[in-house]
Amino acid sequence: MIRALVTLTLGVSIMATVPAWAQSDPTPTAPAAKEKKVCRTSMDTGTRIGKQRVCRTDKEWAQIDNNNKDVVDEMVKFKGFTDPAAAAGTAQPK
């Protein structure tokens, strides 16, 4: 269940970032300094062999992470949970 949620979140975040790349300015005014790439390994669902290495800049990873967080927050709200600890059943009674 959690693996499916993570996979869905990653897929949605990747789809959400594609329009942002398409809207970038094609004629930059000054050459930007080359940003360092950070690589992460992503697992494909349903296989133990399906690892994929994805390399992006820190700025791009931050945007993807924020999009993933927003998607998960929306899913939690949609299910009616307001407190993640309560949703997991680990909340302490007051």
Q: Tens-digit pLDDT profile for the chain (94 aa)? A: 666 655 656 666 666 555 555 555 555 565 567 889 999 998 888 877 878 899 999 999 999 999 999 998 888 887 765 666 666 666 665 5
What is the reported pLDDT for 59? 95
In a domain, 61, yes or no: yes
**Number of structural domains in the chain:** 1
pTM of the model: 0.46
Residue 13 identity: S
Maximal CA-CA distance, the chain: 58
In a domain, 66, yes or no: yes
For 35: left if phi > 0, alpha if psi spans -120 to 50, otherwise beta; the answer is: beta
Domain hosting residue 73, numbered range? 37-80
In a domain, 54, yes or no: yes
What is the reported pLDDT for 49? 80
Q: How many CB atoms lie within 10 A of CB 67?
A: 19
In a domain, 41, yes or no: yes
What is the reported pLDDT for 79? 74
Using CB atoms within 10 Å of the CB of residue 72, give its burial: 0 to 12 exposed, 13 to 18 middle, 19+ buried. middle
In a domain, 50, yes or no: yes
